[in-house]
Amino acid sequence: MRLVIIGGGILGTAHALAAIGRGHEVIQLEREVEARGATVRNFGLVWVSGRSANELDITLRSRQLWEEIGGKVPGVGFRPAGSMTLVRSENELAVAEAAIKNPSAAERGFELLEPEAVRQVNPALRGKFLAGLHCSKDGAVESRQALPALRRYMEATGRYTFFGGTEARTITGTTVIDDRGRSHQGDLVLSCPGAAHTGLTRELVGDIPVRRVRLQMMQTAPLGEPLTTAFADGDSFRYYPAFQGPELDRLNNEEAQPFTAARHKMQLLCVQRLHGGLTIGDTHEYDEPFNFDVDEAPYEHLVTVAEELLGRKLPQVVRRWAGVYSQSIDPGAIVTRAQAADNVWVITGPGGRGMTLGPAIGEETADLLNL
C-alpha cells in the first residue's frame, strides 16, 4: 500500500515507521521545514514509571520498540538510563512506599533506595532527600535529533518520501492536495496534526474529544559530570496516574505545593542530553487562550528545586521555551483516532505521552487498520 501521512511529529513519524516496517510505501507531509511542535519541545523521556495500570502494557511495548529502534537507528540517542524520583517529605515517602508494593512494581523496575544507595546509582544527586524511587525501565531519546535520524533510516529503504514546508490543504478520496497544488495519491491517509485542532482537522472530523496543554521548559549548559538517570521531585507523583491511591490523596490534602508550583501545576523533571546539558521542566496550563510569553517564576522554582536535589549550582540556563501538546479528554483513550472517511483517519491527543508511546501507537494503528 501507499500511505500519505500528514504531520511530521513523533506520531506521524511513528506511523510512517510502522508502515515502512511492514513493507508499505509512505509519503509524509510536514507544514514546517522540520517539526517544531511538542515533539521537539519535550524531555525525550520514555516514561514507564508514571503510566496507569491500563496503559502499562502499551508503555512497556513502546519501551521495547524504542530499544529496538535505538539499535537500528543509533542517531535517535536511545539509552536505558532509568529514573530517580526523589522524595523530601513523609507524605511523599508514603506514596513511594505504596508504589513498590503495587503489583506492577516489578514490571516497572521500581526499587525504593536510601540516600546513600541513590548516590551509588546516580552520584550527581548529592542534595537533601529522604529516599529515591528508582525506576530501571525508564529511558530517554534525543527529541531534537530523533526525527531526522528516523527519516534518514526510512529514506534508505527507497519507500519513503518526506515533503517539508508542505501544508496539506484538502483531501479528496485518498488524494491529498498540498499548498503548492501538488497531488499526493495514497491508498490510506493518516493525519497526525498534533495540537492543530482547527483548520483541516476540524474540516475532516469536527470537534473531537481533545484539548491543548501548554508547558514551559528550559535547558542548561553542560553539567560537567554524568547524570546517570533522569530525576524527578515528589511533586511529579501528583501528575502521574500510576501513583493514585490513599497515600497520594493524603499528600494532596495535607501538603500543599509551594505557591508558584501550585499556580503553574508544576513538577520537576530533569534529563541530561548527550551534549551534557540538562533539560528541565515543567508546567501545565489548560485554559486557553494561552499566553504568548513565558513566565519567569516557574523557572526560578525549577532552578531552586533542581539545585536542592543536586546539591550544587546549576550550569547557566541557555534556552527557555514553551510548547503546546494535544491531550485526549476521553478518560478511556490513550489517543484519539477519528475516522473522517473511508481510508482517512485523524490521530492525535497522546498528551504528554507522545514520545513515550509513539512507536507503540503507530504499531497499534497498523494492527487496527490491517496494514
Query: Could you tell me if residue 250 is inside a domain?
Result: yes
Query: Could you tell me if residue 301 is inside a domain?
Result: yes
Question: What would the pLDDT profile of 252-292 be if each residue is shown by its tens digit?
Answer: 999 999 999 999 999 999 999 999 999 999 999 999 999 99
242 and 130 belong to one structural domain? yes
Q: Is the pLDDT of residue 369 over 90?
A: yes
Residue 246: phi and psi, rounded to 5, are -60, -30
Query: Could you tell me if residue 304 is inside a domain?
Result: yes
For residue 300, the domain's CATH number is 3.30.9.10
Query: Could you tell me if residue 252 is inside a domain?
Result: yes
User: How many domains does one find in the chain?
Assistant: 2
Residue 59 near residue 127, CB atoms below 8 Å = no
Average pLDDT over residues 193-221: 97
166 and 288 belong to one structural domain? no
132 and 240 belong to one structural domain? yes
Query: Could you tell me if residue 35 is inside a domain?
Result: yes
108 and 11 belong to one structural domain? no
Would you list the DSSP string of 225-241? S---SEEEEGGGGGG-G
DSSP state of 74: G
The pLDDT value given to residue 331: 86
Average pLDDT over residues 144-154: 97
187 and 299 belong to one structural domain? no
Residue 293: phi and psi, rounded to 5, are -115, 175
Q: Is the pLDDT of residue 332 over 90?
A: no
* Interaxial angle between packed helices 10-21 and 354-368, expressed in degrees from 0 to 180 and rounded to the nearest 10: 40
Residue 213 near residue 224, CB atoms below 8 Å = no
Q: What percent of the chain has pLDDT over 90?
A: 99
125 and 244 belong to one structural domain? yes
Indicate the pLDDT class of residue 297, thresholds 50, 70 and 90.
very high
230 and 104 belong to one structural domain? yes
- Give the range of the structural domain holding residue 90, as residue numbers without chain letter: 83-136+210-328
Query: Could you tell me if residue 298 is inside a domain?
Result: yes
Residue 361 near residue 334, CB atoms below 8 Å = yes
Question: pTM of the predicted model, to two decimals?
Answer: 0.96
Q: How many CA atoms lie within 13 A of 167 on its CB side?
A: 7
C-alpha span between 251 and 257 (Å, rounded):
10
175 and 324 belong to one structural domain? no
Cα end-to-end span (Å), the chain:
8
188 and 322 belong to one structural domain? no
Per the listing, cell 552520584 goes with: 123
264 and 353 belong to one structural domain? no
C-alpha span between 231 and 281 (Å, rounded):
11
For residue 10, the domain's CATH number is 3.50.50.60
Pairing of strands 25-30, 210-220: unpaired
313 and 216 belong to one structural domain? yes
Query: Could you tell me if residue 10 is inside a domain?
Result: yes
The pLDDT value given to residue 171: 98
261 and 197 belong to one structural domain? no
